[in-house]
Amino acid sequence: MRFKPKVSSFPVELPPSGGDAPSVLAFSMAKAGSTLLYNMLSKLAPEQDLVYFSIEDFLFSRNVSATNRPGAIGDVFKPTGYCYGGFRQFPAFPVRILHSSKTIFLVRDPRDMITSLYFSLLKSHRIPKSAARLGSFEDDEGAAKKMSDARQRLQHTDINVFARESVRAYMRMFEGYVAQGFARRPNVAIYRYEDVIFAKEAWVEDICAWYEWDIDPARRRAVAAMFDEVPDEERPEEHIRQVTPGNHRAHLSPAASKFIFNALSEYMRLFGYTD
C-alpha cells in the first residue's frame, strides 16, 4: 500500500505585506552571526516597505520542533512584500522564490560556530515555553523539551566531545546549501562572518546595494551602530558571548580543531577557510 505522510494542520500566520517591492531572502548557519544579520534586516526591511518574517522563529516560538513541520509551509513565500530570514540551515520545505529573489548567505568558520553553539546550548539560548497543544497542532516532543534535554546533557559533556559530535550536523548544513548551488548561484551574495563582524557599517551598505534598497544613509548607519556590540571579555551567560574570530583556539583542543577541519575541509575551502 502507498504510504501517506502525516501532515499537521498547524496554522502558519503570515503578516500582511505593506508594499509591492520584490521579496528577498537571507540564509545563514547556526552560530554564524545569524541573529545579528536577521536583527539588522528586521530594522532595514521596513524602510523599503517590506515585512520581515521568519517562519523558523514563528514555529520555534510555538514550540514546534524541526522534525514536525506543518504542511503547505512553502505557501508563505510570496514574490513581493517580504524579507524572509531566520534560517540556520537550508529548510526541508520548498522555498518557492529561491530562483527569482535576491539572496544573502552568511557563513563562518565551523570551528568557531561549534564552539559558540556549545556555550549557547549550555548557557544562553532561550528555550520556548512548553505546550502540549498549540491550536490544532500537538507536539509532545517539541522544541522546548529537545532544548532542555540538550542543556541537561551538556552539563556533563566536554566541549571537545561535543565538537566531534557536532561535525555531522554542520556537514548537513553545508551540504544543504551547497546542494542548492549557494557557492555559485548568481542571485546569492556570500558574506563571511570574519569579513563583516568588525565592519558593520560597510556591511549594511553592501547589503542595501545588493538588495537594491534605497534607504537613507543616516538610517543605514544607525542600524549598523545599533548592533555593533563588541564585548571586552567573554560572557558565557549572554547571547553575545564574544565576537572575535578564531575563539575556538581558546576552547578546543588542537586535536578537536583538526578533526573538524579534516571532516569539513571540502566545504571550508570552498568558502575560503584554511587550516
- State how far Cα 246 lies from the chain centre: 20
CATH of the structural domain 24-270, one choice from 3.40.50.300, 3.30.450.40, 3.40.50.720, 3.90.180.10: 3.40.50.300
CA–CA dist 146, 141 (Å, integer):
7
pLDDT of residue 136: 39
pLDDT (0 to 100) of residue 139: 46
Predicted confidence at residue 229, as pLDDT, reads 81
> Could you give the angle at the alpha carbon of 109 between the alpha carbons of 98 and 44, nearest 5°?
50
Domain ranges of the chain: 24-270
- 253 to each of 99, 112, 235, 248, how far by Cα in Å? 41, 13, 20, 9
Rounded CA-CA distance 44/59 in Å is: 23
Alpha-carbon gap, residue 69 to 49, rounded angstroms: 29
User: What's the grid cell of residue 100?
Assistant: 527569482
Give the three cell numbers for residue 147.
532544548
Instruction: Quote the DSSP letter at residue 212.
Output: T
> For residue 207, with 0-12 CB atoms within 10 Å meaning exposed, 13-18 middle and 19 or more buried, which class applies?
buried
Q: At what angle do helices 110-119 and 159-179 cross, to 10 degrees?
A: 120
pLDDT score of 138:
44
Phi, psi of 270 (to 5 degrees): -60, -35
Predicted pLDDT of residue 88 = 92
Q: What is the pLDDT of residue 151?
A: 61
pLDDT at site 157: 78
Per-residue model confidence (pLDDT) at position 58: 86
Q: What is the pLDDT along the chain (275 residues), one digit of tens a residue?
A: 666 555 555 567 788 987 899 999 999 999 999 999 999 999 999 999 999 999 988 887 777 766 666 666 778 999 999 999 999 999 888 899 999 999 999 999 999 999 988 888 776 555 555 544 444 344 445 555 666 666 667 666 789 998 999 899 999 999 999 999 999 999 999 999 999 999 999 999 999 999 999 999 999 999 999 998 876 777 666 667 678 999 999 999 999 999 999 999 999 999 999 87
